[in-house]
Structure 1
Amino acid sequence: MRTVGVEEELLVVDPTGRPAPLGPDALQVASRRGEGESPEEHERAEQEEPDAGSAAHLMPELKAQQLELGTAVCTGLDEVERELRHWRARAQSAAAATGASVAALATSPVPVDPIPTAGDRYARMLDTFGLTAREMLTCGCHVHVSVADDDEGVAVLDRIRVWLPVLTALTANSPFWQGEDSGYASFRSQAWHRWPSAGPNEVFADASTYHRLIDEVLATGTVLDTGMVYFDARLSANWPTVEVRTADVALRVEDAVTLAGLVRGLVETAARDAAPPPDVPAAVLRVAAWRAGRSGLGGDLVHPVTGRPAPAADVVGDLLEHVRPALADAGDEQLVADGLAALLRRGTGADFQRRVHEQTGDLAAVVRAAVAVTAGRSVDAAQAAHSSTG
């Protein structure tokens, strides 16, 4: 059984729904309780171990209006769900001690002036990347799945790359940007690709080719360190895992669990496959990723096998069939199938946000509804409309 771990980035918001730069204060609360790192502790860990955040605790992020959580290493998806609910609750408790809340939103619906977290590394990022770093306030979800070694890991990367845009569509949870509907289901994915190292790669073929590319990227002096190698999927620098990084943070824990199950299924399916990987050009994958971010599950996606547009439901069904044997062997088949069916029935986090906004006309109501869902409370658009006028 391959192990799996999840990292989620959350927005810290005040009672008006506006992102509040209280993440470092919340982390100080969590650190005193023994369940989080202060920004200073995290920066030291980042310099020593770029993937130190894979351990189970709360962590700072680039902006002070964020918190990041990391689960323990899990074997079953039931463990993943328990861990995510536990750490979301811990994040909410720490934020509440500062007068704030956390929301699993991949961008802020309301206008925001992002405030950087203090620290030398973050300061260097702001200095080097200018407006891109200053404007970047996005929240993603990263899934780690264990691999035997770098050779197996690179073989996995080569085979899963064509399916990664589908994961973006499934988790789309960022339709709003600076108070406006962006027209995208996942605008986070659009903003994220402004980083110079972000996006898909060509087929690597072997581990030496992969590591040579990392060395060449670092040798340009453009990215600061291995932690800024923002490939859509990569080998962890310090853990024996493949890390998939294309997803928005999921509004609902259930959808994050479905994502974790799919990623593990993709990794296991790829590791079993002895055929040459699909040699789809990275340029085509960039187009597929753009389309996934644009429409989410509400339109056609680029089919990973044919390279042609196909209804999102058909592409999701083919993804499920692709990984079904691996899911069945892990005992995950029914849970993931049910999770995908639920997503196709009720829509993504982006669909939920737009429904709340359509019924309330109030972006702050969208944030309040997201805070409730993040905490595990059931909230529909009608309830959000009522609460916004009550």
Structure 2
Amino acid sequence: MSLPSMGVEEELLLVSAAGEPLPRSKAVAGDPGVELELTRAQVEINTPVCGTADELHDHLHRMRSKLAASAAEQGGRLCAIAVPPSGHAEQLVTKKERYLQMAARYGLLAREQGVCGCHVHIDVPDKEAAIRVSNHLRPWLPTLLALTANSPIYLGSDTGFASWRSIMWSRWPCSGPPPYFESAAHYDALVAMQIASGSIMDEGMVYWDVRPSSHLPTVEVRISDVPLTIDETVLLATLIRALVMTYDGSPGPKLEPEVLRAAYWLAARDGIEGNGLDVLHAEPLPMTQLIDRLINHVGDALQELGDTDRVEDTLQRLIAEGNGAVKQRKAFREGDGVVALTEVRP
């Protein structure tokens, strides 16, 4: 049986020398695999389909470096950071018909939405499989959020949250943890209801943290802040790939929605440094212990991928040195500069 392929979308922020959002995305983008985003200070990397972690790492390194050089040519910096560290909340919207429609319909919600996430696509046989996998992934989403949290500093202030992006993102009408779906038909019915009600414009605005891709034969996992480092993005993609491989055909647990909501909130606030919530038993546990449970859960899949050592080494460094949120907060507190820490170098 062949291993599922994967691909990654990374949203990255353009900032000025002063660290404020720089609305030059159209000038910076232009290569295949680079897309414009909702605000003019964002660009998005789309990797090719990858079969190994090494291949994914190489693509991300090449694409980040090329974009960073292009940003420098425009007098800006490319940052792997999930929210603007300084400046104003309201951003200029990209002049694309879809984004202009969103700004007209959603007002300040759209104009303040200059946040950067990371989306991981994993190959699945069909939409029904994507829905079953979604149910299987739900218990692990808060842990993945905590691991990749990279947005504690927003507009010059420490928000008190490791992932402020996830708090901002939750304002959209179809966002956060996906519901438990009985089938693809159940998913389609809920999406059709959202569109008919006018709460979302179309299926492209299904912003649940796991969804069947609307244009690819994949399940798309959207839980993450854009990670600070390429190694962290590869770790995220590898763990999600292993979780998809671990799906055993069972229906998946029907979690209490408020327990999952509490687990999300704790992960967003404390990241890897505090307690999380075991959503299967509604039991508070240190996030490091929940990370260990995740690794044990996908251990066989990691061995099959040949990625056990890579994952363990990256996690060991992450826990010892801190993820993006920990490092940002330290740089902010010590006056070393969040932008300098998060800037991608050509």
TM-score range, shorter chain: over 0.9
Q: 1:268 pairs with 242, 245, 251, which one? A: 245
Cα-to-partner distance string for 1:312-365 (whole Å, 9 max, x where unaligned): 1100000000111111111112111222222111111011111111222x6xx2
Contact 1:202-1:281 within 8 A present in 2 as well: no
Deviations 1:283-330 (A, max 9, x none): 322221111000001100011332211001100000000111111111
1:358 aligns with 2:333: yes
Normalising by structure 1, report the TM-score.
0.85
Provide, for residues 35-69 of structure 1, a one-character-per-residue CA deviation record: whole Å limited to 9, x for no partner: 24xxxxxxxxxxxxxxxxxxxx1110011111111
- Aligned partners of 1:120 and 1:275: how far apart in 2? 42
Are the counterparts in 2 of residues 201 and 282 from structure 1 also a CA contact under 8 Å?
A: no
Letter in 1 for 2:226: V
Is 1:64 matched with 2:66?
Answer: no
Equivalent in the alignment of 2:78: 102
**How far is 1:256 from its partner?**
0.5
Give the Cα–Cα distance (whole angstroms) in 2 for the partners of residues 130 and 274 of structure 1: 42
Question: Is 2:268 aligned against 1:289?
Answer: no
The amino acid across from 1:84 in the alignment is L
| 1:191 and 2:168 are equivalent in the alignment | yes
The count of residues paired between Structure 1 and Structure 2 equals 343
Q: CA RMSD in A?
A: 1.3
Residue of structure 2 equivalent to 1:368: 340
CA-to-aligned-CA distance 1:204-255 (integer Å, 9 cap, x gap) = 1222212222222222122112111101100001111000001000001100
Q: How far did residue 281 of structure 1 move?
A: 2.5
Alignment partner, residue 44 of structure 1: none
Instruction: State whether structure 2 residue 222 is matched by structure 1 residue 250.
Output: no
Structure 2 unaligned spans of 5+: none
1:60–1:66 CA contact under 8 A, matched in 2: yes
Partner residue, 1:385? none
Pick the aligned partner of 1:320 from 276, 295, 303. Answer: 295
Q: Distance in 1 between matches of 2:193 and 2:125?
A: 25
Give the Cα separation in 2 of the matches to 1:137 and 1:260.
Answer: 23
Letter in 2 for 1:240: P
- SS of 1:63's partner is coil
Counterpart contact for 1:145–1:243, Cα < 8 Å: yes
Cα distance in 1, alignment partners of residues 327 and 178 from structure 2: 32
Structure 1 residue aligned with 2:50: 74
Amino acid at match of 1:368: A
Query: Distance between the aligned counterparts of 2:338 and 2:178, measured in 1?
Result: 35
Counterpart in the other structure of 2:121? 144
The separation in 2 between residues aligned to 1:118 and 1:319, in whole angstroms, is: 42
Contiguous gaps of at least 5 residues in structure 1: 37-56, 377-390
Task: State the partner residue of 2:4.
Answer: 2
TM score, norm. by length of structure 2: 0.96
1-structure distance, mates of 2:205, 2:92: 20
The structure carrying a bigger helix percent of its residues is: 1
- CA apart distance, 1:194: 0.3
Q: Which amino acid aligns with 2:40?
A: A
State yes or no: 1:330 paired with 2:322.
no
SS of the counterpart of 2:175? coil
Alignment pair present for 1:158 and 2:135: yes
